[in-house]
Structure 1
Amino acid sequence: MELQVMILDDEYIILDGLCSFPWSDYGYQVAATAKNGLEGLEKLEHIKPDLILTDVRMPGMDGLDFAERAHEMYPDTVIVILTGYDSFAYAQKAISIGVKEYLLKPIDYDELKNMAARLAEEIRAKKEEQQEVRDLQKYFNQSVPELRSKFAGNLLYGRLQGKGVVQEQAKSLKLTIEKYIVCVGRKVVGEKRLHEGDKWIEEFACINIFEEIFNNYNIQVLSDYNTATAEYNFILLFAKEEENQKCMDRALQACDKIQEEVERYLKACMNFGISDISEDEYQANAQYRKAQKACRQCIYLGMNIILKYEDLQYEEQKEFVITQGERMHFMMTLFQESFEKAEEELRQLFAQAPEDGAAVKFAAMDLLFGCMKFPYTCAVDSEIHNKNWNFSVLQDGVKRISQCETTEEVLNCMFNLFGTLIKQNTEGSDERNWKLVQSILSYIEKNYATDISMDDLTEKFHVSRTYISRLLKKYAGKSFLEYLTDVRFKHVEKLIADDHYKQYEIAEMVGYKDFGYYIKVFKKRYGITPNEFRKHI
């Protein structure tokens, strides 16, 4: 696709000369010309040029005013000022209104050629980048329903760590969570299916039907189906200013309607558990557990029951749960950042915990078990799988946590346990890293003559490019390319000394397919050419 150029100059000779420039050689075509800024603005409305060349001094509207208006209309268009005045004031104003650069009159032909080629490359690169962004946005928009369902699941199951993460993802999905109710439903005693084949198709159809019913009651809904529990999970969204009772009434009416439709078409019953009303989106996991408890209580009360959590008739035990997202984030902090950060994060996790109770101890034991297992499950092709893992930390930890009487005692106990765990995990890490570096260096020395790259190392040793670079710098004192070059030129020196091979043969023998690049590296390394080097041996 050709790039569109617009040229403005009130001098016919200059305008004609610029139009005669071989723009097509650089992938352009002249789409419009004008003798002043006003004429330029009229034509600008009908075309969207990729490049504008405009004189500064023109009657009616000068080039700088035109450039300012053009930049407002098309911010991505590249603007070049043509001026006979090498003035800092012009350049300063031009930059302030978005002008890319300027050319001095009389225009140097070679300078114009270089500018045209360079700007064409820059414009095309930017267009490609913008197209990639548009393609990604299009793909994202097509995936929004699926992403919203995934977001709902992550929210309900506590996989997201931190309120900021929740708000950021909700914003990207164009969701406003101001007030909500979590609803958990479960079909029971079904005799008929919408589809005789795959059960998943039936569940998918049901979710779509249920969503439509909620929408009919003017309720925006996020849906998730839990295959493990065969439960339908919904986050019902309401406006913040709407009265709580009206929100709850509409939710109950919609659930009642769903029960009617399920009974009519599926010959089944549907029980629903309803959470409290909440305005804190990060509490969705807690509200989900409430709705789930209410739903599971329905089985003791009958069929086609809708039970609100607030109506459960029992003295509720104090509950304390560390979500999956919080647990994973803490483990990453503990093993990959600093123990001080982990201590601070642990205090934050337990800040809302009750002063005592079994719930706190169970949460602490669960976290300890996860942290005990984390480094083992993360190990790939490592001696960690072969070493005797000290399970006494877990055994001792469970015993010590169970004997604590307050949350503060549980925290202090965990600080000690995690300190022991970190020490155990880092024991021998230097030795393991050095062994990995030795294996990498050995691999380079064996394969230096091939087209070896960092990607080959990452695939071979199952670690990232960044990590390999860090290890090589720390333990070998060199980057991958520096070490590879050293190995190759150690063999180059031997082959030159043998005096049996031509230089292009030597280059290919040590892994340089590009002979010109081989010569360039050689001269940079030794300060002389290979032939001069041979004379000094």
Structure 2
Amino acid sequence: MNTYTVLLVDDEEEVIQVIIKKINWEWLGFSVIGYANNGVKALEMVEEFQPDVVMTDIKMPYMDGLELCKHIKAEWPATKILLFTGFDEFEYAKEAVHLEVEEYVLKPVNSVELTNVFIQMKTKLNQEISEKRNVETLQKYYLESLPLLQANFYSTLIEGRITEAELPKYLSDYQIAFSGPFFGCLVIYTSPSHVPEHMNPLLLSTAVQKQAEEYLRKKWQAKCISYLGNTVLIVQLKDEKEASELTDECDRFCRYAERIIGAVVTVGIGRVCEDILDLPLSYDSAREAVSYRVIYGAPKAINIKEVAPREIGRSGPMNAGKLSNLFKAIRLSPAQEITAAAAAYLEHLSVSAKSLQQYHIAIMELVSGLYKFATNNNLDVEDCLGDMRKLYSRLLDLEPDVMGTWLTKISLSFRDRLISARSSSTQSFVSKAKEHVHSNYADEELSLDSICKILGVSNSYFSTIFKKETGNSFIGYLTEYRMEQASRQLIETDEKNYIIAKNVGYTDPNYFSYVFKRQFGVSPSKYRVEHTKK
């Protein structure tokens, strides 16, 4: 049984004493915590004790009862107020309905009437507390289930099942903030083939997810879920250019995860988008990026924009079927698997086409898909496939075995062209990097970070490609080129060592001498003497 507190306020103490004695407070479920003889004192006591009920007269010194009611309702709105006053003030008191006074009681106080008033007050207080506790219980349940509701929302979002009209309500109800202004998906794949002793793949993936949350969540305002066996992070970026920094951060995480928990991790970075409703495309491209681990290896972060800069999301009208598998094989697999994927597609085509009309539609989709694939991967469409209408007509007349030979041949041709295009692309920015070194080797600020910023790629991707193309790291190449220029200046000029050091990008002559000796086996001075002897 709840016991509620009452504060009595009247400038006539005799009246207060009569009220205290005439009412069986304990039986009613109330206790009088004190009394005050003016509004100012009463307000102090309300602040100190915060009673459930204040019963006050109107006419009092310093602060009257109506002014007291205003203060109480403004600062403690849950407090109930009873006004008791003389008959001549009753109409005046009733005019103060905006004060939300619970009841008016006339003097002299009648114990029966006052008892009934407090019985009703007790019922009302019990009801309010019951409702409040129900709301608090529901709120508690809601907050407990909120992480699950949020995770379900994120899954639905990357599946593309949230509409623009539904989005604001979901964000509000699930207390989710997406400040952006740019967004992207990361797919974190943990290799099940490299599991430390005394740990199973599921526990390893869970450990990777926990580490990923700790490592990436704060800086990138990431929302993290487990989805289809992988960890998925929805990240927020201030600028599209931050994608390179994000890629490097993810690459460092891959090495960190291998060092700390022994996991071989690949992080696929999807395309950056401005609208969170476009996250399904980012997610699809992040999954695609993970597939490139067969080319670039693991542990590594792979940004789809860097490895497939022209590819736009979905492959074609039959993206979910065998044609999608064929395109994936063309991008990533050896010739034997491409041949098998082409055969699987044609088998699927012959089974699914129940009529000649359906077969014609399927051939049209195949031709359209091939053209779109070529366009998206920056291949010369006319050179690859010729005229689309002529190709469509020709394919309709081909026997199944001839069709199989043709599709295998064109698929392998696409693969060779992609390899060539990829090689040209990587050679292009490696050449640009070399040219930049040749023109700017004297710049002491020249570094891996600066060259990647100029080229618009991540450090991790650039370092992998540069090493693959040149057999040397970028810093190694820069150092060798600087030393080559320094050795020429030592032989061909009379400049002092510290001037030559500055000319090739070193502000510290001592460090320059150290690097030079490591390169040539002798100090700069000795090198000059040995190579300028008559």
Q: TM-score range by the shorter chain?
A: 0.5 to 0.7
Aligned residue for 2:277? 282
Report the alpha carbon displacement of residue 207 of structure 1 after superposing the two structures with TM: 1.2
Aligned residue for 2:486? none
Aligned residue for 1:186? 189
- Report the more deviating stretch, 182-191 or 142-151: 142-151
- Residue identity in the other structure for 2:85: T
- CA deviations 1:7-33 (Å, max 9, x no partner) are 111122321122221121121111121
Aligned mates of 1:233, 1:361 — CA distance in 2: 20
Partner secondary structure for residue 277 of structure 1: coil
Report the alpha carbon displacement of residue 4 of structure 1 after superposing the two structures with TM: 0.9
Give the direction of change, closer, same or farther, for the CA distance of 1:42–1:285 in structure 2 (3 Å limit).
same
TM-score (normalised: structure 1): 0.54
Give the direction of change, closer, same or farther, for the CA distance of 1:279–1:100 in structure 2 (3 Å limit).
farther
Aligned mates of 1:209, 1:360 — CA distance in 2: 33
Matches within 5 A, 1:458-497: none
Aligned residue for 1:11? 12
State the percentage of identical aligned residues.
22
Aligned mates of 1:188, 1:262 — CA distance in 2: 12
Partner secondary structure for residue 46 of structure 1: helix
Measured on the aligned residues, the alpha-carbon RMSD in Å equals: 3.6
Contact 2:267 2:290 in 1 (8 A): yes
- Residue identity in the other structure for 1:186: Y
Contact 1:190 1:266 in 2 (8 A): no
Partner secondary structure for residue 70 of structure 2: helix
- Residue identity in the other structure for 1:6: L
Partner secondary structure for residue 297 of structure 2: coil
Report the alpha carbon displacement of residue 360 of structure 1 after superposing the two structures with TM: 11
Q: 1:253 aligns with which of 242, 248, 258?
A: 248
Q: Is it true that 1:234 corresponds to 2:229 in the alignment?
A: no
Matches within 5 A, 1:449-460: none
Aligned mates of 1:256, 1:143 — CA distance in 2: 33
Matches within 5 A, 1:388-467: none
Give the direction of change, closer, same or farther, for the CA distance of 1:222–1:361 in structure 2 (3 Å limit).
closer
Aligned mates of 1:360, 1:188 — CA distance in 2: 26
Matches within 5 A, 1:107-186: 107-159=109-161, 161-179=162-180, 180-186=183-189
- Residue identity in the other structure for 2:289: A
Report the alpha carbon displacement of residue 315 of structure 1 after superposing the two structures with TM: 5.9
Aligned residue for 1:304? 299
Report the alpha carbon displacement of residue 86 of structure 1 after superposing the two structures with TM: 5.8
Contact 1:191 1:266 in 2 (8 A): no
- CA deviations 1:475-514 (Å, max 9, x no partner) are xxxxxxxxxxxxxxxxxxxxxxxxxxxxxxxxxxxxxxxx
Aligned mates of 2:68, 2:13 — CA distance in 1: 19
- Residue identity in the other structure for 2:225: D
Contact 1:163 1:282 in 2 (8 A): yes
- Residue identity in the other structure for 2:305: E
- CA deviations 1:335-359 (Å, max 9, x no partner) are xxxxxxxxxxxxxxxxxxxxxx847
Give the direction of change, closer, same or farther, for the CA distance of 1:314–1:65 in structure 2 (3 Å limit).
closer
Aligned mates of 1:318, 1:175 — CA distance in 2: 26
Aligned residue for 2:69? 67
Partner secondary structure for residue 127 of structure 1: helix
Q: 1:79 aligns with which of 81, 99, 114?
A: 81
Partner secondary structure for residue 59 of structure 1: coil
Partner secondary structure for residue 95 of structure 2: helix
Aligned mates of 1:183, 1:158 — CA distance in 2: 16
Aligned mates of 1:10, 1:305 — CA distance in 2: 81
Aligned mates of 1:99, 1:280 — CA distance in 2: 51
- Residue identity in the other structure for 2:276: E
- Residue identity in the other structure for 1:231: N
- Residue identity in the other structure for 1:7: L
Give the direction of change, closer, same or farther, for the CA distance of 1:134–1:237 in structure 2 (3 Å limit).
farther
Contact 1:272 1:298 in 2 (8 A): no
Aligned mates of 1:18, 1:128 — CA distance in 2: 29
Report the alpha carbon displacement of residue 294 of structure 1 after superposing the two structures with TM: 2.4
- Residue identity in the other structure for 2:241: Q
Contact 2:247 2:303 in 1 (8 A): no
Q: Which has the larger radius of gyration?
A: 2
Report the alpha carbon displacement of residue 191 of structure 1 after superposing the two structures with TM: 2.5
- Report the more deviating stretch, 5-14 or 167-176: 167-176
Contact 1:225 1:232 in 2 (8 A): yes
Q: Is it true that 1:39 corresponds to 2:34 in the alignment?
A: no
Report the alpha carbon displacement of residue 175 of structure 1 after superposing the two structures with TM: 3.0
Partner secondary structure for residue 48 of structure 2: coil
Aligned mates of 1:359, 1:92 — CA distance in 2: 75
Give the direction of change, closer, same or farther, for the CA distance of 1:172–1:361 in structure 2 (3 Å limit).
closer
- Residue identity in the other structure for 2:101: V
Contact 1:83 1:104 in 2 (8 A): yes
Matches within 5 A, 1:292-441: 292-313=287-308, 316=311, 358=317
Report the alpha carbon displacement of residue 235 of structure 1 after superposing the two structures with TM: 0.9
- Residue identity in the other structure for 2:304: Y
Aligned mates of 1:77, 1:144 — CA distance in 2: 32
Contact 1:318 1:359 in 2 (8 A): no
Partner secondary structure for residue 199 of structure 2: coil
- Residue identity in the other structure for 1:182: C
Partner secondary structure for residue 278 of structure 1: coil
- CA deviations 1:257-305 (Å, max 9, x no partner) are 2210232245443222222333423333332223222223443443334
Partner secondary structure for residue 160 of structure 2: coil
- Residue identity in the other structure for 1:74: W
Aligned mates of 2:99, 2:220 — CA distance in 1: 47
Aligned mates of 2:261, 2:187 — CA distance in 1: 19
Unaligned runs of 5+ in 1: 321-356, 363-394, 406-537
- Residue identity in the other structure for 1:12: E
